[in-house]
């Protein structure tokens, strides 16, 4: 199958050499060799067939809020799930959600229906698929604890369903089988008092907005919190707040956020990450582990 044939076959879109900057919250990143937007599961099967036939690497993209895409871009097929593969329905003990659905839309649905469990994610950007893969969490809640099961397709085009207890959720991580693309999930949510759930969501959002630079371009927390202390505290103690490499800066509001001041490059972010790690290593003898995922080919 040629690129033109794939393009005709799909209900969704596919493009060549498209910059990924506008598909990431950092606003950074070079082009994808191919960028596909499946409209549904059948599109996804055809896209994976094509990528297999061409021997292309795959990158699954949700809302790109936990990614640092290198300036050289991604030399393979990027599959963006947030254009199709959406939808929210009531299901036994909770809801069924398309993996490309925005977490914010799921929260709004829950607030409207009086369902409890999603309110800790108020203010966290991302798709449900990305939130499961990264086991997103805040205010004591974690995505993994809500997952009853997922449906997904692997790189060989085989469909499978896995229970939440098979996904090995850990701190900002999961053991999702390599190359499995989640297309749908079933979340376990309790019935609750609508006003109380709304109040909790509002409170969480308010606290997040006060302590994080939500209006600037970033990928959330850069580093995971080591057991010794929050990464932000360690960075602050080594004078990291406000540190700058050209157009990227450690946020003066939250030391574990690096923000794009406009016109930044991924290389600048990587340089600032190295400098912060070096300072923390020298001062405390520990190496900060990345929470953000770096993707792309060789520079
Ligand atoms: C301002 C800001 C605040 C944030 N606050 C928090 C916070 O409080 N807590 C927190 O945990 N995170 C936080 N984050 C990080 C981010 O919101 C989460 O990691 C989110 O879950 C990422 O979702 P996404 O759809 O953007 O995933 P992406 O960034 O697109 O992808 C992340 C990973 O998931 C994979 N992936 C995405 N979709 C699928 C799928 N359907 N199937 C299989 N794999 C998939 C990707 O390949 C990649 O490996 C914040 C980010 C920002 C920008």
Chain segment 78-98, per-residue pLDDT in tens: 999 999 999 999 999 999 999
Nearest to 66 by CA among 139, 153, 124: 124
Residue 298 clears pLDDT 90, i.e. is over it: no
Nearest to 297 by CA among 64, 76, 79, 18: 76
Q: Is 182 in the pocket of ligand 1 (CB under 6 A)?
A: yes
pTM of the model: 0.96
Q: What is the pLDDT of residue 297?
A: 76
Cα 129 to middle of ligand 1, angstroms: 8
- Which residue has its alpha carbon closest to ligand 1 atom 2? 220
Q: Tell me the CB-side half-sphere exposure of residue 165, using CA atoms within 13 A.
A: 0
How do residues 221-250 score in pLDDT, each as one tens digit?
999 999 999 999 999 999 999 999 999 999
Q: Class of 231-295 per CATH?
A: alpha beta
Residue 299 pLDDT grade (very low, low, confident, very high; cuts 50, 70, 90)? low
Domain 88-211 of CATH type 3.30.465.10: yes
Cα 4 to middle of ligand 1, angstroms: 31
User: Mean pLDDT over residues 164-192, rounded?
Assistant: 96
Q: Is 78 in the pocket of ligand 1 (CB under 6 A)?
A: no
Q: Rounded mean pLDDT of the chain?
A: 96
User: For the chain, what are the domain ranges?
Assistant: 3-80, 88-211, 231-295
Residue 251 clears pLDDT 80, i.e. is over it: yes
Cα 243 to middle of ligand 1, angstroms: 25
In contact, 63 and 84? CB cutoff 8 Å: no
In contact, 26 and 68? CB cutoff 8 Å: yes
Q: Count CB-CB contacts under 10 A for residue 165.
A: 11
Quick one: CA torsion of 18, 21, 23, 27, rounded to 10 degrees?
A: -170
CATH fold of 3-80 reads 3.30.43
How do residues 108-154 score in pLDDT, each as one tens digit?
999 999 999 999 999 999 999 999 999 999 998 999 999 999 999 99
């Amino acid at each position: 199958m040629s690129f033109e044939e794939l393009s005709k076959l799909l209900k969704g879109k596919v493009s060549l050499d498209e910059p990924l900057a506008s598909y990431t919250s950092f606003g950074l990143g070079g082009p994808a060799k191919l960028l596909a937007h499946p409209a549904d599961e059948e599109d996804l099967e055809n896209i994976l067939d094509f990528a297999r036939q061409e021997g292309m690497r795959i990158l699954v993209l949700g809302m790109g809020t936990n990614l640092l895409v290198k300036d050289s871009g991604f030399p393979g097929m990027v599959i963006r799930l947030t254009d199709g593969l959406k939808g929210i329905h009531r299901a036994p003990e909770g809801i069924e959600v398309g993996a490309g659905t925005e977490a914010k839309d799921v929260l709004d649905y829950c607030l409207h229906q009086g369902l409890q469990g999603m309110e800790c994610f108020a203010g966290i950007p991302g798709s449900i698929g990305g939130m499961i893969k990264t086991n997103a969490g805040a205010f004591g809640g974690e995505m993994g604890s809500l997952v009853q099961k997922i449906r997904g397709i692997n790189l060989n085009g085989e469909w499978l369903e896995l229970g939440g207890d098979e996904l090995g959720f850990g701190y900002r991580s999961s053991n999702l089988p390599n190359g499995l693309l989640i297309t749908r999930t079933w979340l376990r949510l309790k019935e609750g008092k609508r006003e109380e759930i709304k109040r909790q969501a509002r409170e969480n959002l308010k606290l997040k907005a006060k302590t994080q630079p939500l209006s600037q371009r970033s990928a959330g927390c850069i580093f995971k919190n080591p057991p010794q202390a929050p990464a932000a505290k360690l960075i602050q103690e080594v004078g990291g707040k406000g540190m700058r490499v050209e157009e990227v800066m450690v946020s003066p509001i939250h030391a574990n956020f690096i923000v794009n001041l406009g016109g930044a490059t991924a290389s600048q972010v990587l340089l600032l990450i190295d400098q912060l790690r070096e300072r923390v290593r020298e001062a405390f003898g520990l190496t900060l582990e990345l929470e953000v995922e770096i993707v792309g080919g060789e520079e």
